């Protein structure tokens, strides 16, 4: 019997196992090394060849005479021009292809990055499904075929980079060049051997470090923090994945010197987990390296990766932790407009602005406020934003950066508003910074409307140098010095005017209560009045302005104060305030009203003579059938929220056509010492030849030689180092030509002479200015200038921004106010004052006497508390220290406090509301300027921009006609033509009588707070302002009337004075002071 052989120890091998019996990993690795050394040899050979050729060329040049020592050769021989060869052209082309300077280069860089990531993904797939080395047929492997295509592209990109490299040897050792060596050649070897070796393909993960560059090319990363964060994260991830790839390779292969017997099966993602645990120093120990190569690698990996991890992670956390939550982009909602607010963003400035801009009575509720500032908001400001969460968005950045302007979508913004730092140490530097912000905004988008706050008047000229700055488009500048001092100057003519105007352009709501005093209810009702613009209906066409104003007041309960006039020469429209009976209303004329709400003003637009002539209920005045729908202007044109002015063909007479003044009459009015008084070139202000400061300055030590009455005293706290206040803006309204020369009030400035030296160039051409060198806190200085006989005492200060406690910025002004109130002007004080004058009798001959023809026999007040004063405050909270007798709580808002209601205090913070007023009503700021500046024109601003100051001009019929414009005044009811209304009279009767008889437009009352006391017992400082009272409001004999009186009232009543010899009437007829 034949035996059968035993097959127990015989095993049949599979084709794959038989193929892997002979490994070829060295072939893949050698292909990479051979490629690297071949490239290195090529570069070195090329350098040796180039060096040899260069040496040969140098010797030829020396033999031919270039640079040689031949005695017969010229001293200098220009070598031939270098020729740009093909290699230089090729290098430039290749450099443009791989850089981000061109569109093609950026596209190529992005494509290379995406293909590197795709190749890395293929490696992830292969490492999860295949062994380190496999015998898979290349023609049947889709991943190998795709990877080969990628590597062919990478090879061409490598040659382009090599060609563009200025230093070829350094290029060979770059990290991305090494990646190409160890990934591109093995892919071709795999095709030849029909094998696949994962090898060093994991090194493609190093391409992740190019993510920051790619994102910068795509304009995704714009800030330094985002770029740095992306660099840290991409570097950390690429090192992490690369280390995991090497561990996966050696652990799954084993040590070659141990015949690969110590290998262990680890997936790539287990290796990722292992390297992360090792980098973070956690080291759970569940996975470890078995191979010697793996352990050696981990020694160096721990040293490098641990240091990197310890350095990168804290920096990443710091960047992420300090990343602002206000760093996003604004997303505009459909149907909403947004306004950008920038500049000086603090709680004080923004709260004052937002209280008016976001007021509930605003008709335009579809406006969102976008605020941008370089610093993050403080807790107080952040709380303010949260209270207006749906209306306000804050972004951290600067308008000087185009990227930040893009974030806030400035191109679609309705306007951009720039706030100024009112307490800065250098106003000119602050204005320059804000003007630069405007330039940046206009450069980015030249069609945007910009409204800027400026501190100094003369800096407005720089805005005209911006090419895209256009006043007609709605660009405007709110000059704080001009407006603040303009309000104060008009308060010298009509005490309390600054409070009245501040309440008009500020949006406020009021609630009367029977528990409050009557004076407070009357005042609060006036605070609810605002300025509005509206087009007049066709029923007003043909009426004179006084007739239209009377109709609006009597029938519509509206106060019409001005109209928009179109000039016959087709130039820009202008605003005429109380123009008189010479002007007739044309069609589509825009009027300026004082009313409680925009809905009330619409009554002027809807009024129809046929349908509404006998209406009693004002709410019935709506659009009637007589008014077709087609003629109704758009809402944005009616309310004034649009900056465009309609094109109107009807014409109104020009200023010079309103009234023709005879030259002889006008010249006879202003003759002083036989000389005709001169005006400036615009004929808007009284002018005199430049005076030296020495001729106008004096002090009590050398004697004060002036006898003053009905003058203005300016107590100014400033020194040689103080910033400019801009006193020209205070003096100009008091020197307007709609005053006769004998009506001009002498201005006495009590301050340090060293400060006036800086301002004198802007003041030297105004007449009747006296400078008293000394401190306003010195009572001797105050008595010397007859402060008890002045019409107004103004207290100003150049605040020091370096004061740590903001409550101390007004310390000098408050002390001065309290010091004046504590003074007594009885017989003893008069004797002391006379003693001062007699001691300086010898000095009086060298100075001219300055007296006033107006009320020259005035006795004056006996107590300093009765001196009319107006104190400017930098901090609203300090108003509580001005009047010790008031009953205001410390936290009371400024406008409700008694000093502000009485017109004895003014804070520059109220001017923040003018920014929103200017935005919502494009004509509001022009109207306010016309009222308070006395006639400042764009022509004058151009003259002042040249830096030559105000220049004189010659009087002519045209220039004298420009004097015929109204001015702010205050008339006492008990001492004038209105005395009959003081007893049982009402405000409506006074309004109609003054308008019909004298062309005077009344718009408010100045009433004693305590009406139970007699006229002699009430100090002047205890009056309060009532804005636009109702027609049935009862009058008192002690009341004073705020009014806009025309210039021609003087001439109109001169002839009447000849017929009627009443003393009370003569005071008004001669244009005297009604106080």
Q: What is the pLDDT of residues 1037-1058, one digit of tens each?
A: 889 999 999 886 643 443 333 3
pLDDT band at 669 (very low <50, low <70, confident <90, very high): very low
Q: What integer is the mean pLDDT of 725-735? A: 91
pLDDT at 139 exceeding the cut of 80: no
Indicate the burial class of 819 (C-beta count within 10 angstroms; 0-12, 13-18, 19 or more).
middle
Length of the chain measured in residues: 1075
Which residues face 196 on adjacent strands?
A: 134
Surface-to-core class of residue 799, CB atoms within 10 Å of its CB (0-12 exposed, 13-18 middle, 19+ buried): buried
DSSP 668-701: HHTEETTEEPEEETTSSBEE-PPPPHHHHEE-SS
Would you say residue 654 has pLDDT above 50? no
Which of 576-590, 655-669, 736-750, 913-927 is predicted least confidently?
Answer: 655-669
What is the pLDDT, as a whole number, of residue 830? 54
Q: What is the mean pLDDT of residues 467-471?
A: 87
H helices of 787-841, in order, are 811-821, 827-839
Write down the pLDDT at residue 7: 42
Task: State mean pLDDT over 3-24.
Answer: 56
Res 16: pLDDT: 57
pLDDT tens per residue, range 780-818: 999 998 998 999 999 999 866 566 677 788 899 999 999
State residue 858's pLDDT score: 53
Tens digit of each residue's pLDDT (9 = 90 or more) over 478-487: 999 889 999 9
Classify 269 as helix, strand or coil.
Answer: helix
Looking at per-residue confidence, does 195 or 34 come out higher?
A: 34
CB 187 within 8 A of CB 285: no
Is the pLDDT reported for residue 11 higher than 60? no
Residue 827 confidence (pLDDT) = 57
In order of 108, 534, 586, 590, 1013, the CA distances from 649 in angstroms are 61, 18, 10, 13, 56
Strand stretches in 21-143, DSSP E: 133-134
Q: Which of 14-23, 435-444, 976-985 has the highest mean pLDDT?
A: 435-444
Higher pLDDT, 593 or 71: 593
**Are residues 795 and 730 in contact, defined by beta-carbon separation less than 8 angstroms?**
no
Q: What is the DSSP string of 987-1005?
A: HHHHHHHHHHHH--EEEEE
Question: Quick one: pLDDT at residue 47?
Answer: 83
Residue 976 has pLDDT above 60, yes or no: yes
pLDDT in tens, 63-83: 655 444 444 444 445 555 444
Q: Supply φ then ψ for residue 744, to 5 degrees.
A: -65, 130
Q: What's the mean pLDDT in 290-309?
A: 87
- Measured CA to CA, the distance from residue 1005 to residue 901 in angstroms comes to 12
Determine the average pLDDT of the residues in 123-150.
82
Residue 650: which pLDDT band, with cuts at 50, 70 and 90?
Answer: very low
pLDDT tens-digit map of 906-928: 988 888 888 888 888 888 888 88
pLDDT at 771 over 90: yes
Helix (H) or strand (E) holding 50: helix 25-63
Distance between CA atoms of residues 226 and 220, nearest Å: 9
Instruction: Please state, in angstroms and as integers, the Cα–Cα distance from residue 471 to each residue in 644, 647, 898, 922, 925, following that order.
Output: 11, 17, 38, 10, 12
Query: Which tokens go with 1065?
Result: 């009437």
- Give the separation between CA 236 and CA 280, rounded to whole angstroms: 12
Average pLDDT over residues 180-191: 86
Say if residue 849's pLDDT is above 50: no
Q: How far is the C-alpha of 422 from the C-alpha of 51, rounded, in Å?
A: 70
Contact 1067, 1074 (CB under 8 A): yes
Kindly state the helix (H) or strand (E) to which residue 428 belongs, with its residue range.
helix 427-444
pLDDT at 455 over 60: yes
Check residue 20 and give its pLDDT: 60
The residue-averaged pLDDT of 39-59 equals: 81
1052/661 Cα distance (integer angstroms): 12
High-pLDDT (> 90) share of the chain, %: 21
The answer to whether 131 and 107 have CB atoms below 8 angstroms apart is no
Q: Cβ–Cβ contacts within 10 Å for residue 757, how many?
A: 13
Residue 283's pLDDT is 77
Average pLDDT, integer, range 707-717: 91
Both tokens assigned to 544: 């004179």
What pLDDT, on a 0 to 100 scale, did the predictor assign at position 1062? 35
Provide the mean pLDDT of the chain.
79
* 347-367 per-position pLDDT tens digit: 888 888 888 888 877 766 678
**Residue 277 vs residue 671, higher pLDDT:** 277
The candidate with the shortest Cα–Cα distance to 1075, out of 707, 709, 744, 710, is: 710
Nearest-angstrom CA–CA distance, 941 and 489 = 19
**777 has a pLDDT exceeding 80:** yes
State both tokens at 1.
Answer: 């019997």
For residues 168 and 43, the answer to whether their CB atoms sit within 8 Å is yes
Contact 216, 100 (CB under 8 A): yes
Least confident of 331-340, 508-517, 535-544, 815-824: 508-517
**Residue 624 near residue 608, CB atoms below 8 Å:** yes
Mean pLDDT, residues 535-547? 90
| H-helix segments, 64-83 | none
Residue 8 pLDDT more than 50?
A: no
Categorize the per-residue pLDDT at 676 as very low, low, confident or very high, splitting at 50, 70 and 90. Answer: low
Cα–Cα distance, 978 to 986 (Å, whole number): 11
- Between residues 993 and 26, which one has the greater pLDDT? 993
Contacts of 882 (CB under 8 A, 6+ apart): 814, 817, 818, 871, 873, 899, 904, 905
Give pLDDT, residue 829: 47
Say how far apart CA 68 and CA 453 lie, in whole Å. Answer: 72
Going by pLDDT thresholds of 50, 70 and 90, the confidence category of residue 1004 is very high
- pLDDT at residue 487, as a whole number: 93
DSSP 8-state class, residue 362 = -
Confidence check: pLDDT of 1021 > 70 = no
For residues 363-373, average pLDDT: 82
- The answer, yes or no, to whether residue 665 has pLDDT greater than 50, is no
Tell me which long-range contacts 1051-1058 makes (C-beta under 8 A, separation of at least 24): 1051/661, 1051/665, 1052/998, 1052/999, 1053/998
> Which residue has better confidence, 637 or 765?
765
Is 117 or 934 the better-scoring residue by pLDDT? 117
Handedness of CA 68, 71, 77, 80 (dihedral sign): negative
- pLDDT band at 628; cut points 50, 70, 90: low
Mean pLDDT of 20-47: 83
Give the pLDDT score at 991. Answer: 94
User: Band of the pLDDT at 321, cuts 50, 70, 90?
Assistant: confident
Q: Is the pLDDT of residue 197 over 50?
A: yes
Closest listed residue to residue 779, CA positions, set 717, 719, 700? 700
* Residue 10 or 793, more confident: 793
The pLDDT of residue 1072 is 33
Given a cut of 80, is residue 1066 above it in pLDDT? no
């Amino acid at each position: 019997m034949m035996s059968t052989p035993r097959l127990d120890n015989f095993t049949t091998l599979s084709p794959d196992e038989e193929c892997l019996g002979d490994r070829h990993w060295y072939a893949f690795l050698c292909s990479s090394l051979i490629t690297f050394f071949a490239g290195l040899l090529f570069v070195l050979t090329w350098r040796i060849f180039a060096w040899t050729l260069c040496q040969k060329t140098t010797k030829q040049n020396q033999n031919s005479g270039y640079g040689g020592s031949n005695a017969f050769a010229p001293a200098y021989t220009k070598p031939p021009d270098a020729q740009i060869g093909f290699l230089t052209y090729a290098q430039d082309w290749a450099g443009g292809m791989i850089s981000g300077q061109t569109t093609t280069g950026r596209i190529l860089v992005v494509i290379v990055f995406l293909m590197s990531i795709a190749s890395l993904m293929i490696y992830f797939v292969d490492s999860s499904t295949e062994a380190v080395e496999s015998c898979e047929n290349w023609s049947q492997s889709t991943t190998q075929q795709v990877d080969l295509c990628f590597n062919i592209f990478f090879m061409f990109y490598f040659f382009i980079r090599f060609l563009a490299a200025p230093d070829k040897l350094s290029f060979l050792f770059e990290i991305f060049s090494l990646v190409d060596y160890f990934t591109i050649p093995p892919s071709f070897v795999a095709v030849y051997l029909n094998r696949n070796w994962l090898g060093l393909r994991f090194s493609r993960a190093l391409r992740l470090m190019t993510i920051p560059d790619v994102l910068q090319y795509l304009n995704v990363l714009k800030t330094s923090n985002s770029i740095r964060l992306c660099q840290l994260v991409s570097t950390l991830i690429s090192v992490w994945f690369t280390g995991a790839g090497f561990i996966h390779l050696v652990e799954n292969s084993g040590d070659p010197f141990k015949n690969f017997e110590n290998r262990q099966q680890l997936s790539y993602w287990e290796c990722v987990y292992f390297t992360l645990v090792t980098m973070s120093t956690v080291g759970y120990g569940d996975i470890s390296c078995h191979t010697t190569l793996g352990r050696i690698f981990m020694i160096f990996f721990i040293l490098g990766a641990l240091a990197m991890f310890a350095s990168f992670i804290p920096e990443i956390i710091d960047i992420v932790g300090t990343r602002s939550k206000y760093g996003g982009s604004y997303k505009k909602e459909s149907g909403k407009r947004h306004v950008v607010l920038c500049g000086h963003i603090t709680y004080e400035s923004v709260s004052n602005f937002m209280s008016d801009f976001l007021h509930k009575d605003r008709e335009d509720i579809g406006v969102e406020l976008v605020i941008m500032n370089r610093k993050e908001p403080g807790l107080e400001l952040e709380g303010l934003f949260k209270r207006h969460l749906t209306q306000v968005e804050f972004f951290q950045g600067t308008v000087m950066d185009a990227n930040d302007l893009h974030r806030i979508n400035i191109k679609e913004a309705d306007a951009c508003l720039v706030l100024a730092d009112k307490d800065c140490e250098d106003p000119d530097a602050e204005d320059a910074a804000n003007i630069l912000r405007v330039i940046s905004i206009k450069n980015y988008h030249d069609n945007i409307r910009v409204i800027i706050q400026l501190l100094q008047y003369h800096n407005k000229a720089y805005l005209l140098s911006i090419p895209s700055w256009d006043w007609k488009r709605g660009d405007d500048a709110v000059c704080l010095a001009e407006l603040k001092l303009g309000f104060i100057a008009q308060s010298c003519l009509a005490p309390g005017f600054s409070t009245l105007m501040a309440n008009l352009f500020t949006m406020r709501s009021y609630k009367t209560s029977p528990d409050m005093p009557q004076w407070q209810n009357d005042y609060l009702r006036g605070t609810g009045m605002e300025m509005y613009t509206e087009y007049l209906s066709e029923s007003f066409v043909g009426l004179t302005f006084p007739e239209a104003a009377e109709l609006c007041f009597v029938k519509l309960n509206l106060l019409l104060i001005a109209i928009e006039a179109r000039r016959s020469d087709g130039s820009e429209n202008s605003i005429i305030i109380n123009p008189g009976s010479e002007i007739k209303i044309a069609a589509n004329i825009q009027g300026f009203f004082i009313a409680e709400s925009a809905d009330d003003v619409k009554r002027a637009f809807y009024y129809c003579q046929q349908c509404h002539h006998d209406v009693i209920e004002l709410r019935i005045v709506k659009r009637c059938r007589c008014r077709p729908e087609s003629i109704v202007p758009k809402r944005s044109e009616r309310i004034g929220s649009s900056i465009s002015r309609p094109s109107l063909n009807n014409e109104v007479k020009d200023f010079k056509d309103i009234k023709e003044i005879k030259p002889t009459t006008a010249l006879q009015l202003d003759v002083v010492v036989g000389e005709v008084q001169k005006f400036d070139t615009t004929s808007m202000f009284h002018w005199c030849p430049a005076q030296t400061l020495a001729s106008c300055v004096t002090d009590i030590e050398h004697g004060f030689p002036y006898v003053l009455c009905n003058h203005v005293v300016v107590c100014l706290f400033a020194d040689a180092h103080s910033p400019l206040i801009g006193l020209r803006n205070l003096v100009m309204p008091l020197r307007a030509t709609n005053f006769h020369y004998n009506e001009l009030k002498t201005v006495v400035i009590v301050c340090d002479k060293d400060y006036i030296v800086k301002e004198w160039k802007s003041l030297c051409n105004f007449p009747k200015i006296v400078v008293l060198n000394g401190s306003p806190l010195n009572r001797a200085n105050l008595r010397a200038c007859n402060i008890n006989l002045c019409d107004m005492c103004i207290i100003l200060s150049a605040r020091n921004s370096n004061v740590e406690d903001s409550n101390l910025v007004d310390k000098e002004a408050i002390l001065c106010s309290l010091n004046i109130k504590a003074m007594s002007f009885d017989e003893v004080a008069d004797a002391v004052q006379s003693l001062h004058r007699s001691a300086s009798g010898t000095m009086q001959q060298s100075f001219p006497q300055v007296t006033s023809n107006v009320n020259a026999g005035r006795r004056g007040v006996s107590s300093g508390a009765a001196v009319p004063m107006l104190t400017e405050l930098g901090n609203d909270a300090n108003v509580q220290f001005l009047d010790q007798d008031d009953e205001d709580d410390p936290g009371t808002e400024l406008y409700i406090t008694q000093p502000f209601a009485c017109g004895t205090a003014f804070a520059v913070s109220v001017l923040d509301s003018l920014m929103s007023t200017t935005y919502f009503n494009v004509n509001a700021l022009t109207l306010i300027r016309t009222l308070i500046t006395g006639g400042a024109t764009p022509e004058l601003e151009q003259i002042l921009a040249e830096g030559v100051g105000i220049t004189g001009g010659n009087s002519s019929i045209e220039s004298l006609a420009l004097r015929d414009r109204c001015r702010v005044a205050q008339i006492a009811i008990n001492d004038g033509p209105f005395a009959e209304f003081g007893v049982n009279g009402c405000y409506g009767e006074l309004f109609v009588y003054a308008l019909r008889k004298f062309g005077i437009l009344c718009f408010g009352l100045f009433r004693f707070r305590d009406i139970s006391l007699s006229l002699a017992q009430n100090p002047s400082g205890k009056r309060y302002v009532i804005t636009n009272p109702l027609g049935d409001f009862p009058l008192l004999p002690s009341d004073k009337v705020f009014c806009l009186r025309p210039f021609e009232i003087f001439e109109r009543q001169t002839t009447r004075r000849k017929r009627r010899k009443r003393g009370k009437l003569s005071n008004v007829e001669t244009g005297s002071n009604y106080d």
